[in-house]
Amino acid sequence: MTAPRITVVGSVNLDFVASGRILPSPGETVTGATLARHPGGKGANQALAARRLGAEVSLIGRVGGDSMADEALALLRGDGVDLASCRADGGHPTGVALIAVSAEGENQIVVCPGANMAVTPADLPPRIDGALIAQLELPIDTVAAGAQRTHGLVVLNLAPAAEVPQSLLDRADVIVVNETEAAFYGEALRRSGGLVALTLGARGAELWRAGERIAVATPPRVQVVDTTGAGDAFVGALAVALLEDQPHDRALAFACAAGALAASRAGAQPSLPTRAELEAVLTRS
């Protein structure tokens, strides 16, 4: 089988992860946490997720002209993601995510986008062949330009939720949202006409088209360590599965298993499963 070809237009961050017993309430300080640094950013995470599952992946984005840039790109480079179109921008810092993770694996995230918000339509080629994966951690006009220039499957992760033109939703062949994002977009998702994947955390996911549920999947049971990156694992895996022409129910189960495996390990990118790991879990389930 020929490997799927995917271009990701998306964000690159360096994650600073504080893991502790509990998450703070507003105005509260908690102590006793441990600190780790991991490459992250929804675009980079989804690019690496698809790459580890067998796709040929290129990433279009920006990092800063600072000491964090190489660290943010290290795992992408090590796994063979094409970074020729990921520019270093001396006028902006590398994007940073500040993440607090509780003992139950729940998280709170604050993103400082930095160079990600300097990615413009001029950074994109006039034509994108193959599939596109995009999210909303870049300027919306850049995401929209990427979708319009793509001559293949467009997978749009509407995260974080933001106002987008209906024309972008209409161009997307696959939209991925969680429950909060689905509530934000409401009826606009039904009008989009493509597939809508609704992620439900530990309860799994559903696949919808034109208001009709066409597939349901539940993830394998895992011990949750850190949910950061689980949604990105789902997006990358769903894109790969659909490009491989897996049936809808199998594609959804494939994506749910990827998200569950990512949630069972620490860090966004370090947690992303390989194809062998994912296939082993699916064989056992």
- Beta bridge mates, 59: 8
Q: Is the peptide bond before 125 cis (omega within 30 degrees of 0)?
A: no
Task: State how beta strands 128-129 and 150-151 pair.
Answer: parallel
Distance CA 168, CA 193 (A): 12
Taking each helix axis from N to C end, the angle separating 42-52 and 230-243, rounded to the nearest 10 degrees, works out to 50
Catalytic residue among 79, 232, 245, 249: 232
**232 counts as catalytic:** yes
The three-point CA angle 233-235-236 to 5° equals: 65
Decide: residue 184, CB within 10 A, 0-12 exposed, 13-18 middle, 19+ buried.
middle
The residues annotated as belonging to the active site are 232
